[in-house]
Each structure stands twice: as C-alpha cells, then as structure tokens.
Amino acid sequence: MSDKPIAVVTGGAGFIGSHMVDLLLDRGYRVRVIDDLSGGREANLAHHSQNPDLTYCWSDIRSLNAGDPSFAECRYVFHFAGIGDIVPSIERPIDYMDINVQGTVRVLECARAANVRKLVYAASSSCYGLAATPTGEDHPIAPQYPYALSKYVGEQAVFHWGEVYRLPVNSICIFNAYGPRVRTTGAYGAVFGVFFRQKLAGKPFTVVGDGSQRRDFIYVTDVANAFLAAAETDGVGERFNVGAGAPQTVNRLVELLGGDVVYLPKRPGEPDCTFADIGKITKSLGWRPEVPFEQGVQHMIQQIDHWKDAPLWDQASIARATKTWFEYLGDRSAKGAG
C-alpha cells in the first residue's frame, strides 16, 4: 500500500481544480477527484489517464454523506466544486444556494468525519461587490447577485465548521483567475473563453464599456500554489485574498490578442476595477504570484485550439443572454422609488 499522502479535490475536473490535481500529483500526493462533470471535463485530466495515483468519483457533492470512502485517510480537502456565472444565478437562485451552500456543508461533514488535517475553500472576490481598491480581507461584504451570495454563505459555513467542530479550515478568495482550461460552458461569462473563441473565428472582440475597466488577473498555477500553501500552513480559520496585485485593462488583453473590437453597454453590478491586496498571504504564507500577465496570455494563445468548440458570442447573442442581468441589476434605486 502506498505511503503517499491523500488529497481530495472536489470539482477536480474543472478549470482551477484540474490544475490543483496537476500540482498535487507533481508533489507526490495520491489524489481523489470528486466531480459530476456539470462544469468540468474529463479531458482536463486526460494527461493523467495512466496515473495510478489519481482516482475519480463522478458524483454530485450533494450526494455525499459523512463516512464517504473518497475521504478515508485523507490529509487535505480542496473544495472547488460549485456553479458559477452571474446570469444563471439570477435566474436559478435556488440551484446556486443548494449546490454552493448545501453542497459545501456535505463536503464539510465528510471532511469532519474523516478527521482531515485541513480543508481549503475556494471563495470568490465577488463577495466584496463594488469594492474599494486595493481590496483587503477585511473589506465590507456586499454581494451583488446570487452567485456572489452563495459563495459567501458557503464560506461562512466553512468558518462555522471550523469554530463549532474544530475542523481545520482556510479560505482562498480568488480574484480573476485565467489560464489553460478556463471553462468554455454555454453560459456567457469568462472573458477569456469569449475572446479566444472569437479570435479563432476571426470575429471582433466584444468589449464591455470602453475597455478601460481593470481586472486583477491571476494565472491558474499561481492560484493552485496558493491553495497548497494554505493547506500546509499551521494557521487555521483564515481568509486569504489571491490575485496578482497588478490589475490589467480589458483593452490590454485585446492588445495582446490582436483583433478588431465592438463595444457593448456597460453592465450594472460590475466593478470598474478589481484589485486584491495580497499583503496578508505574502506575509503569512510566503506566497507570491510568479506568472506575469503577458506570459500567461502567451501560454494560452499557444493552446488556443482548446476553445474551438466553445460558444461563439456576438452582440446580439450577448444582449439576449444578459437581458436578465440588466433587468435585475439595473437601476435599483428606481425600483425602490415611488
């Protein structure tokens, strides 16, 4: 029997989760992936198909129960499983609260029963809302839509299990992660998936507003390293912001990709800038981002064929997909007037 330590990665066939699997296997772990493939893809792990240290459980986290064998003798749990995107969360809030909150509670109970050494939760910077920048971990919480709320409530459950049941937990609050395997689902969302498919098709990039909005893009391998650092530290009960600490404009991304642009109306509920204050994680865990933005984008361009089957968005289809967004997140003050 192998004496290698065991780690569970929920959502391990997804974008960030699959890179977490890569890192753990490289560091000598046996890895158990739990994923229902609703957002993840088996292809994201295909390069490990012959690796005996990787096993799979293709199931919904809401079906997990304390004592689940996937968690037996597990050292660390990395919890990425959940559903994302703004518009679907406005249209299906019950699903988001069910999966991102109740699903998280199921994972917590499995981790508690297995006496794991640490659980690290994937939180979202969207919990900060239209935040002041740079944004520290103590920034007021102001979710603008159900996805953001569900991720925040899930995080609160994680910390609650840490306090009540003494489950060792930490949380990584991810800003704008990008890199190879960034998702290509049917929902309109992540800018990289949208732009890369448009580039492959020779279509113009659909830029929201004037493109001057800045995002704290953080390369996915840097994110995975932050999660491992948060697991291996002795500290518990902490939230760490993870970004590059160097926001880039959408126009800069377009410049690196090269191509024509069409401009779309600015959307409500979206910040003009996301900017992580990463002082806490650099001081506490010694973690620092290592991949510059230009280098990260170049890595993705070299694998651009990954996006050949992604949805191709244009002005009309985006307008249809974001109609609910404008309806519910528009002039909230007007809705309350009269």
Question: 3-state SS string over 134-166?
Answer: CECCCCCCCCCCHHHHHHHHHHHHHHHHHHHCC
177 sits in which H/E element: strand 176-178
Query: Which residues are identified as catalytic?
Result: 147
pLDDT of residue 176: 94
List, for the chain, all residue ranges whose pLDDT scores fall below the cut of 50: 333-338
Domains and CATH numbers, the chain: 6-178+218-242 (3.40.50.720)
Q: Please, is 99 exposed, middle or buried when counting C-beta atoms within 10 Å of its C-beta (0-12, 13-18, 19+)? A: buried
- The residues that bridge with 56 in the sheet, in sequence order, are 33
Q: What is the pLDDT of residues 271-321, one digit of tens each?
A: 899 999 999 999 999 999 999 999 999 999 999 988 888 889 999 998 898
Task: Output the pTM of the full model.
Answer: 0.94
pLDDT of residue 189: 64
pLDDT of residue 14: 95
pLDDT of residue 268: 84
pLDDT of residue 335: 44
Burial 56-79 (b: 16+ CB within 10 A, else e): bbeeebeebeeebebbeebbbbbb
